[in-house]
Amino acid sequence: MYALLTTLEAGQATILAELKAINTRLTSTEQTLADLVARIAQTKDQCKLLHDMRSDVDVILRSSAQTSDSIAGIEERLNDAEDTLRRCNLVFYGISEGESESWSDSEKLVTDICNKNLKIALEPKDIHRAHRIGKIARDKKCPIIVNFSSFKTKDDILSKAFKLKGTTVSISEDFCAATRSIHRELVRFAREQKVPFKLRYKKLIIDKKTYYYDTADKAVKERTARAS
């Protein structure tokens, strides 16, 4: 009888030990599950934060794009306004420069060329002002910019500028820096085509097709009916 009780007590002790071990494992598993649930909750919070941040970034990007478009539109209008102010100007290149040349001297040089080469008789009232532009340097012929009293006079001179072919003198219209940059790109594109072309302000005409320079894409494109 004593031996049986001893055996039962030993069996109970083993079972209790196993139950304790199981309980310990269950406690550890519960803790692990609790940690996992906390990590999942934290991950959800982080995902929400990332989603909110992405939404904020998208809003900022859209606002930035709209702002950039607005600035580009304002800059274009300012450039057009500056070109309008320069519409009565012409730039004469290749005219020899005298020592201590005054504005009156520059005006007389231009008047003489128009009278002699272009057969256009200019009077003092036809020119508001004429002067050299650029840095003075030895053996350098600085251009002369001329502001005429009327667009008609300026246009008449420009239309006969071809008569200066074969001389050292040439004439061009006066535009703002942005428009001059567009002209360079359009002319470069036109010369690559190796065909006759006409340049009218910011438009290039080749074989009855009109091209323009897209400043955003930095490329010359053909203007279609829907192009702006």
> Are residues 73 and 28 part of one domain?
yes
Contact 76, 82 (CB under 8 A): no
What range does the domain containing 153 cover? Answer: 88-174
Which tens digit of pLDDT belongs to each residue from 115-133? 999 999 999 899 999 999 9
Name the more confident of 190 and 19. Answer: 190
**pTM for this prediction:** 0.65
> Are residues 100 and 76 part of one domain?
no
> Are residues 49 and 24 part of one domain?
yes
Which tens digit of pLDDT belongs to each residue from 38-55? 777 777 777 777 777 777
> Are residues 191 and 151 part of one domain?
no
Q: Give the residue from 22, 56, 86 where a domain finishes.
A: 86
> Are residues 169 and 102 part of one domain?
yes
> Are residues 146 and 69 part of one domain?
no
Which percentage of the chain shows pLDDT scores above 70? 90
- Number of structural domains, the chain? 3
Name the more confident of 71 and 115. Answer: 115
Name the more confident of 1 and 185. Answer: 185
Torsion of CA 19, 21, 24, 28, to 10 degrees: -120
Q: Give the residue from 40, 63, 86 where a domain finishes.
A: 86
Which tens digit of pLDDT belongs to each residue from 83-94? 999 999 999 999
Name the more confident of 181 and 53. Answer: 181
Residue 191 binned pLDDT confidence (cut-offs 50, 70, 90): very high
> Are residues 188 and 162 part of one domain?
no
Q: Work out the average pLDDT over 137-147.
A: 86
What was the pLDDT predicted at 90? Answer: 97
- Measure the CA–CA gap between 127 and 113, rounded to whole angstroms: 14
> Are residues 3 and 82 part of one domain?
yes
The domain that holds 165 is classified in CATH as 3.30.70.1820
> Are residues 183 and 149 part of one domain?
no
> Are residues 183 and 116 part of one domain?
no
> Are residues 38 and 17 part of one domain?
yes
> Are residues 200 and 162 part of one domain?
no
The least confident of 68-77, 154-163, 179-188, 197-206 is: 68-77
